[in-house]
Amino acid sequence: MNAKRLIKRSLLGFVAIVAMLLVTIVATAALVWFRPGVVVNTPRLLWALPHLESMGYALELEAPQLQADSPEFWRKRVVLKTPRACWKNPLVATGPLCLRDVDIEVVANLKPGATRPLLVRRLRFYAEAFELKIPESTEPPDAEASPSSWTSSLAWLAWEEVDATLERLRLPAEDSRWDFAGRLESAGREELALKAQAELHSTLPKPPPPFRFETELRLRTDLLDREFALSTSRADLSVKGSGPGLKAAVGGHLEFKARRLDFSLSGDGSWRGPTSLSFRLDRCQGQGRLVEGDRPIPVDDALAECSVRVVPTYPAALTKRYGSRVPKEFRLELRAEAKTQKDGALHPRLSAKLLPVRTPIFVFEAEAEAVPRRTLGFDVTLKGDLKLPDFRKAAAASNELGWIVPAPVAVLGGPVQLTFSGTGESETPTGRADFKLTTRLRSRDQALRLVADGELRFRQCRAGEEGSSFEVDLVSREALLELPAIDYTRPPPIVPDSRFEIKAEPRRTEVAARAAPTGCTRRLDLRVRTGENAPVRIAGPILKNPIPVHLDVRKSDADAGRGYLRVENFSTELFRRKATVERFDFDIATRVVNGRVRADFTDHRITTLITGSADSIRVDFESDPPLSRQAALSVLLFGRTMEGLDDEQASSVAKTEAAAKNGALSLASLYLFASTPIESVGYDPQTQGVTAKVRLGDGTSLNVGANDRGVTDVGVRRRLSREWRVETTVRNPSDPQNRSTLTILEWFRRF
């Protein structure tokens, strides 16, 4: 019995305790619910701060005041005020992040099902300057991790009065830093105003003036509505930027209604430089539909089209000089679109089109399109077309600019067209471009028709990797060019005397090292060739017939040039005789020449074989019927066999033969012999120079190639004509008393 009573009393006691506990809890909860300041107050905050620091949140509050109350049953209000609050986190900022005059009032709507449970009724603070620390992690951002939707973040947050000032936020970069300052302020219940300034400073040793941007955004939105219903928003945007020589202002209007976004932008800007540019955003309109979900760009069916007009202002001297030949304006059509495809993915696309730029010299147009990749960057396609309607005008303009388009090419008229197209992506980045150049140039005496196909590949590379490559295949379809009527026996210097060192020029290797600091390889492959049955023909006053030259020359990084020049089957003169060049090859890489020139005489056919290196050619002679080498040379030089030669001619044959055998007969010497009536040939074994006395058109003679010391010419006999000469002899050489020097003009003959 006692046990039952004991159990009963125990149960009653337990129930009473539970009830008391419940009552206590309920009373406490009610107390906290209706008097939240009991729990949320300044002493509790001061008690909690050390615990927060031990948890890694080093928060310092100076004389904080924390109050909480319950203005309504479901709404609880918390007010925090402090003259200064600082937060230390070395991972985020280099120093403490401090706010002054902090005054925050937040009302929480704890009613179940409330759409925007948190209302920031008042947010006021002044953020002192601080510098963010850029995390050193090099890991690429997680492409699959979708950022939370901003609309979802707004779903539980509402704003009422905001007045936040940021003194300076410094964001360091590699060679620069960004400084941001601004103030966000609510102006009325439906308007949010943001004024922000940003400055971009260079941290290089000699920094340029900073770029400054000012942004003013006035957002009219029901986001601030107490009803917490996002249905209609309008925003007016104004952005002004300035920098060294740069000024830009963009204004726009955005309207968001029923999840549809429409915007229009307009603006202008200018950039002052050697050639100043003024920009005008003529019309820029767009629309789109806001979507929820994990998307980088929370829009769909978006389309934006803008037209940009760029008007350059050239230097006065340039305008005065080139007048209407410089482009007056450039017009760009920009287009951005994003649309969800069948696969459910959003496919954004950006494109820019440069409308044809027309000048009297050229017409240029280009298009570019960029498609964002799923990861980072863009896939870019590019195509363009450059036309020179009249090459002669372009050459003249180019020459006025100081870029040499030399004679005889500069006088050629006709069109030149360069088309190119390419693709690339900005992530790696890599790309390739194909281009085609065609010319159809002609003048009264010349022609040049070329077709060039080329490919440019580029990729960012590391040391040892293959980098960019450039391949060109230039084919000459028709070329007839004229040589100048200079004296080829005494040609003027065409290139500057390389023996002079005027200024220290960096060595080629140094230039290459500077150009390719990464050390990755670059490939260059240029090929210039003549088309089938379309040799380059070289004409000129010194040539009776144009010389047809076939060529196939390649130049790459790996070699200094290879390929050949080939002259085939044309009639010319060699040693002043009609001759046929059966073949003349020149190997670019080895500088080896190989030529066969045939000359037909009444009784003989003599073939001149030219072999060896271009610097030291070897000349041999074949004849049919067979003649000795001397006899063949005699026939070639003077049209007679040795029996018909006078002393000087015979001597010339001997010297020419010696020079030919010795490799001292250069191509220039051959040209000299081929083109000019020769009176005599000299050969100086000391200098290994070939000299020739040639007959000029006016009946006089000229010594060509003789050195100034006259070693070759030294002698006591000088020929005046075939059978006349002046001879200086010593009479009575063995009798000093009667010895005398005698100079006489004499007629002579060997027989």
Partner 1 sequence: MFAPLALFARALVASLFVVAFAGLGACASWRKPKLCPEITLDQKVDFTRSEILLLCGDPKSEAWEEIPRPQVLYHLKTFLLDRGYYAPKITSPTGGDLFVELGPSSELRRLEVTGWPGDLEPFSDRRFVGRRLDSALLDEIETDANARLRSEGYACPALETRADAPMSHVTVRVRAGKRRLFGEIPRAKVDGFDTRLLERFEAFAADETYDPRLLVLSERRIRSKGFIQDAVYSPLCEGEEFRISLHPFVGKALFLSIGAGFDTEEWFLARLRFSAQRLSALGASVDTILFASLLTQSADVAVDLPFGDPSLRRSVYNQFTVKRQDTPSFESVSLSGRAGYSRHFDTLPASIDWRLGGVAEQVWTLRGQGPESTHFVAVESTLLSTSHLFEYWIDAPQEGYRWELGARASFEALGSGFTATRLKASVEHLGIVWEGPFASLVWAKRAGLAQNIAPSGRLGLIPLPHRHYLGGSKDLRGFSRQELPRDGQGAANAAFLGNELRVMRWLPIEPLLFVDVGTVNVGMARPNVPLYLSPGTGLRYRLPFGTVRGTAARGFSLSPRPEDRGRDHWEFFVSLGEEF
26 binds partner 1 (CB under 8 A): no
Q: Please work out, in degrees rounded to the nearest 5, the angle formed at the alpha carbon of residue 538 by the alpha carbons of 533 and 543.
A: 125
Which two structure tokens, joined as six digits, stand for 34? 């209706």
Amino acid at site 71: P
Closest to 248 in 3D by CA, of 236, 238, 258, 240: 240
Select the residue interacting with partner 1 from 661, 695, 696, 721 (CB under 8 A): 661
Select the residue interacting with partner 1 from 116, 537, 577, 655 (CB under 8 A): 655
Select the residue interacting with partner 1 from 684, 692, 694, 705 (CB under 8 A): 684
Which region, judged by CB under 8 A, interacts with partner 1, from 283-291, 348-356, 550-558, 722-730?
722-730
750 binds partner 1 (CB under 8 A): yes
Minimum CB distance to partner 1, residue 653 (Å) = 6
C-alpha 224 chain-centroid distance = 49
Angstrom distances, CA of residue 623 to CA of 139, 552, 605, 607, 699: 80, 32, 6, 6, 33
Minimum CB distance to partner 1, residue 358 (Å) = 25
Select the residue interacting with partner 1 from 380, 658, 667, 668 (CB under 8 A): 658
Q: Whose Cβ is closer to partner 1: residue 428's or residue 728's?
A: 728
Minimum CB distance to partner 1, residue 499 (Å) = 5
Select the residue interacting with partner 1 from 487, 559, 615, 624 (CB under 8 A): 487
Minimum CB distance to partner 1, residue 598 (Å) = 24
Minimum CB distance to partner 1, residue 328 (Å) = 23
- Burial class of residue 437 (count of CB atoms within 10 Å of its CB; 0-12, 13-18, 19+): middle
Angstrom distances, CA of residue 334 to CA of 284, 367, 539: 9, 10, 51
Minimum CB distance to partner 1, residue 615 (Å) = 12
316 binds partner 1 (CB under 8 A): no
In angstroms, the CA 391 to CA 360 distance is 11
Q: Whose Cβ is closer to partner 1: residue 408's or residue 414's?
A: 408
How does strand 118-127 pair with strand 130-131? unpaired
570 binds partner 1 (CB under 8 A): no
Minimum CB distance to partner 1, residue 443 (Å) = 6
702 binds partner 1 (CB under 8 A): no
Minimum CB distance to partner 1, residue 409 (Å) = 8
In angstroms, the CA 672 to CA 695 distance is 11
In angstroms, the CA 42 to CA 49 distance is 11
718 binds partner 1 (CB under 8 A): yes
* Contact yes or no for 488/671 (Cβ under 8 A): yes
In angstroms, the CA 671 to CA 650 distance is 21
How does strand 157-172 pair with strand 58-62? unpaired
615 binds partner 1 (CB under 8 A): no
Which two structure tokens, joined as six digits, stand for 571? 């009639």
Q: Whose Cβ is closer to partner 1: residue 215's or residue 701's?
A: 701
Minimum CB distance to partner 1, residue 388 (Å) = 16
User: What's the length of the chain?
Assistant: 751
Amino acid at site 104: I
33 binds partner 1 (CB under 8 A): no
Q: What is the contact mask toward partner 1 in residues 160 to 199, using x (rule: CB under 8 A)?
A: ----------------------------------------
Taking the CB of residue 427, how many other CB atoms lie within 10 A of it? Answer: 14
Q: Whose Cβ is closer to partner 1: residue 68's or residue 659's?
A: 659
651 binds partner 1 (CB under 8 A): yes
Q: What is the contact mask toward partner 1 in residues 365 to 404, using x (rule: CB under 8 A)?
A: ------------------------------xx--xx-xxx
Q: Whose Cβ is closer to partner 1: residue 404's or residue 524's?
A: 404
Amino acid at site 691: T
Q: Whose Cβ is closer to partner 1: residue 658's or residue 667's?
A: 658
Q: Whose Cβ is closer to partner 1: residue 433's or residue 441's?
A: 441
The DSSP call for residue 284 is: E
Q: What is the 3-state secondary structure (H, E, C) of 79-101?
A: EEEEEEEEEECCCCECCCEEEEE
* Contact yes or no for 381/422 (Cβ under 8 A): yes
In angstroms, the CA 19 to CA 12 distance is 10
Minimum CB distance to partner 1, residue 652 (Å) = 8
In angstroms, the CA 140 to CA 377 distance is 12
741 binds partner 1 (CB under 8 A): yes
Which region, judged by CB under 8 A, interacts with partner 1, from 82-90, 258-266, 357-365, 705-713?
705-713
* Contact yes or no for 695/673 (Cβ under 8 A): no
Q: For residue 621, how many C-alpha atoms fall within 13 Å in the half-sphere facing its CB?
A: 27
Select the residue interacting with partner 1 from 186, 446, 476, 608 (CB under 8 A): 446
C-alpha 187 chain-centroid distance = 48
Which region, judged by CB under 8 A, interacts with partner 1, from 56-64, 360-368, 453-461, 481-489?
481-489
Minimum CB distance to partner 1, residue 697 (Å) = 13
Select the residue interacting with partner 1 from 3, 55, 560, 744 (CB under 8 A): 744
315 binds partner 1 (CB under 8 A): no
Angstrom distances, CA of residue 559 to CA of 201, 232, 385, 566, 590: 46, 69, 33, 20, 11
Which two structure tokens, joined as six digits, stand for 387? 């036309």
Q: Whose Cβ is closer to partner 1: residue 302's or residue 635's?
A: 635
501 binds partner 1 (CB under 8 A): yes
- DSSP-derived 3-state class of residue 376: coil
Select the residue interacting with partner 1 from 231, 275, 688, 721 (CB under 8 A): 688
Taking the CB of residue 22, how many other CB atoms lie within 10 A of it? Answer: 10
Select the residue interacting with partner 1 from 63, 502, 515, 560 (CB under 8 A): 502
Q: Which of residues 405-444 bind partner 1 (CB under 8 A)?
A: 405-408, 410-411, 443-444
Minimum CB distance to partner 1, residue 682 (Å) = 10
Which two structure tokens, joined as six digits, stand for 506? 């960096």
Q: Which of residues 71-130 bind partner 1 (CB under 8 A)?
A: none
Select the residue interacting with partner 1 from 95, 491, 506, 519 (CB under 8 A): 491
Minimum CB distance to partner 1, residue 616 (Å) = 9
Which region, judged by CB under 8 A, interacts with partner 1, from 76-84, 449-457, 486-494, 544-552?
486-494
Residues that bind partner 1 (rule: CB under 8 A) add up to a total of 93
Select the residue interacting with partner 1 from 265, 370, 653, 692 (CB under 8 A): 653
Select the residue interacting with partner 1 from 9, 111, 695, 731 (CB under 8 A): 731
Phi-psi group of 8: left, alpha or beta (phi > 0 → left; psi -120 to 50 → alpha; rest → beta)? alpha
Closest to 192 in 3D by CA, of 238, 153, 159: 159
Which region, judged by CB under 8 A, interacts with partner 1, from 132-140, 189-197, 357-365, 662-670?
662-670
The DSSP call for residue 13 is: H
Which two structure tokens, joined as six digits, stand for 703? 């010594």
- DSSP-derived 3-state class of residue 589: coil
Q: Whose Cβ is closer to partner 1: residue 412's or residue 606's?
A: 412
740 binds partner 1 (CB under 8 A): yes
Minimum CB distance to partner 1, residue 708 (Å) = 8
Which two structure tokens, joined as six digits, stand for 585? 């090859």
* Contact yes or no for 270/260 (Cβ under 8 A): no
Minimum CB distance to partner 1, residue 677 (Å) = 18
Select the residue interacting with partner 1 from 112, 135, 464, 492 (CB under 8 A): 492
* Contact yes or no for 248/265 (Cβ under 8 A): no
What are φ and ψ of residue 244, in 5° steps? -60, 105
